[in-house]
Each structure stands twice: as structure tokens, then as C-alpha cells.
Amino acid sequence: MDIALAQARKAAERGEVPVGAVVLDGAGQILAQAGNEVEGAHDASAHAEMLVLRAAARRLGSSRLMGCTLVVTLEPCPMCAAAAVHFRVGRVVFGAYDPKGGGIVHGPRVVEQPACLHRPEIVGGVRERETARVLRQFFRKLRERKTER
């Protein structure tokens, strides 16, 4: 989660919503790490999770990430939750809960759908206060900047 947090802080410096993610293989080795790239890449799907899942799969030369763990600072949205299912990730570990945009324990609860083909193990709320603080600080600064104008 330290690495994911560092990626989230780097994303904030680039003006991106500060979410960071890492994919680890079964031995705990890092396969990929990234922060959000939505603004920079003009790509609304360039969430940190999508970037690391694709990069990890590229690195392994396989679209299946069986036995791998996705670690991310925020509860994945429905798109990213469904992508973790498509990539057959073994485990999803996330930091802050996201009641508005989350898709794992909130909203459509993608992984709990009866038709869901693969159910990664889910661990939520890891270092919750710290991961939530990075987001809160970012949005507070954004509001302050808007008020200054």
C-alpha cells in the first residue's frame, strides 16, 4: 500500500485525482505500479487499476492474472472492479471506501452479482484514514484554488 500511496501522491502532483495502484504476483513481486492518467492521457478509462492490470498482463504475456493481488488506494469503480474479474485477479486490496463511485462494496457490487464469473478475494479499508486523507487534501486544495479565482 506504501507504493500505491506514493503513486497516488505523484498523480496529485500531475493534477490527477490521486489514486494509485500496484499489481503483485503470487510471490509478492511487483509486476506494475501506476497512478491515474485520466487527464494527461485524455482517457476516461485510464484509472490506476486499469493501467496496472494491463501492464501486469503485458509483462506476464497473459491476460489472466491468477494468483496476483491488485492493491489500490481507493475502492475500485464498477469499470475497474469488472476489469479485475476479467483479468482473473486473485485478490483485491483497497484503502478508502467510496460510497459514491465504488463498485465493490457499494453501487452495483460487481463481484457479488450472480452472473459474475470469477470472485477475487476482497480486503477493503486497508490504511483507510491515510488513503482517504490523500484524496481529501487533493479536493480541498482544488476547492481553495477555485475560490481564489
Cell 479485475 appears where?
Answer: 84
Residue spans of alpha helices (H) in the chain: 2-13, 48-60, 78-86, 128-148
Q: Is 49 a catalytic residue?
A: yes
Looking at 5-13, 14-22, 77-85, 120-128, which segment touches its own copies (CB under 8 A)? 77-85
Query: Does residue 57 interact with its own copies by CB under 8 A?
Result: yes
Catalytic residue among 49, 121, 128, 130: 49
What are the φ and ψ backbone dihedral angles of 110, each rounded to 5 degrees? -50, -45
Shortest Å, Cβ 141 to its own copies: 21
Sites for its own copies among residues 100-129 (CB under 8 A): 100-101, 103, 106-110, 113, 115-117
Distance CA 87, CA 72 (A): 15
Contact indicator for 106, 97 with CB cutoff of 8 Å:
yes
Among 58, 129, 141, 143, binds its own copies (CB under 8 A): 58
What is the side-by-side strand order in the sheet with 121-123?
30-35, 20-24, 69-74, 91-96, 121-123
* Binding-site residue ranges: 47, 77, 80
Shortest Å, Cβ 5 to its own copies: 23
Among 10, 78, 105, 126, binds its own copies (CB under 8 A): 78
What are the φ and ψ backbone dihedral angles of 20, each rounded to 5 degrees? -125, 155
Q: Binding residues for its own copies, per CB under 8 A? A: 38-39, 41-45, 50, 53-54, 57-58, 60-64, 77-83, 85-88, 99-101, 103, 106-110, 113, 115-117
- So which residues are the catalytic ones? 49
